[in-house]
Amino acid sequence: MVDQELLGTLRQELRRGSVVLVCLLALRDPNYGYALVGILESAGVETDANTLYPLLRRLERQGLVSSEWITDDPRPRKYYRTTDTGIEIARLLLDDWSAISKSIEQFKPGGRG
Amino acid sequence: MVDQELLGTLRQELRRGSVVLVCLLALRDPNYGYALVGILESAGVETDANTLYPLLRRLERQGLVSSEWITDDPRPRKYYRTTDTGIEIARLLLDDWSAISKSIEQFKPGGRG
């Protein structure tokens, strides 16, 4: 019997670090928050506006994304874009991700381990 | 110019959730903490005893691993083993991991995205 609260905490922990990486990669194409929620969901990463919006603001404070209001559309929207620093950080995080991925593949049931 | 402190924080965030998963998978074969540090390192996951020992104690409190002192060797060691609950949790976390992995593959430079 799996403790759902514990599972929720572990899932959140697992996602927290990796969603940053996904956002930095995805926002090389500028987009607005709500669209990004949809993009992540269609890529299989469950998230919601309440999680993502504060994350985008944090990434902006950290200089990893920048934002710009686009007012051409009937509804003005704040578009985020990964900065050069953000792209460099994403590249370094991808190396870590690859190492972790390989070890998970190695240890998982039916893996090489 | 990448802020090394920020990079360190992001790398730690990225690893924190995934190291739990690697430990749960690796400890289906019972082992002691220090050996596990070596196993993770040789699998490319940088970690150290100061991080891993508290994590193992936390996983034990959460019922995801159990421990047993083995005193057959000249030096008694505490062996950890993933519990049935831990294996079930690892299986569920692997599903999340796969989804995140796919989206990272999709968005990464040179990926399908």
CA angle A98, B49, B28 (to 5 degrees): 65
In angstroms, rounded to a whole number, what is the distance separating the alpha carbons of residues B83 and A58?
A: 37
pLDDT tens-digit profile of A28-58?
999 999 999 998 888 878 888 898 999 999 9
Q: What is the pLDDT of residue A72?
A: 86
Where along chain B do its domains lie?
A: 16-100
Å between A109 CA and nearest CA of chain B: 8
The CATH number of domain A17-98, selected from 1.10.10.10, 3.40.718.10, 2.70.70.10, 1.20.1260.10: 1.10.10.10
Strands across the sheet containing A65-70: A31-32, A77-82, A65-70
Q: What is the pLDDT of residue A47?
A: 84
Residue B112: is its pLDDT beyond 70?
no
H, E, C per residue of A53-93: HHHHHHHHHCCCEEEEEECCCCCCEEEEEECHHHHHHHHHH
In angstroms, rounded to a whole number, what is the distance separating the alpha carbons of residues A26 and A17?
A: 15
**Residue at B75: amino acid letter:** R
* B32: helix, strand or coil: strand
Alpha-carbon distances of A21 from A17, A94, A96, B104, B105, rounded to whole Å: 7, 8, 11, 8, 11
For A43, which of B46, B85, B102 is closest by C-beta distance?
A: B102
Q: Is A49 on the interface with B (CB under 8 A)?
A: no
- CATH 1.10.10.10 at B16-100, yes or no: yes
pLDDT tens-digit profile of B42-91?
887 888 889 899 999 999 999 999 999 999 878 899 999 999 999 999 99
Q: Which residues of B touch A13 (CB under 8 A)?
A: 16-17, 20
Average pLDDT in the A1-19 region? Answer: 89
pLDDT tens-digit profile of A59-101?
999 999 999 999 987 889 999 999 999 999 999 999 999 888 8
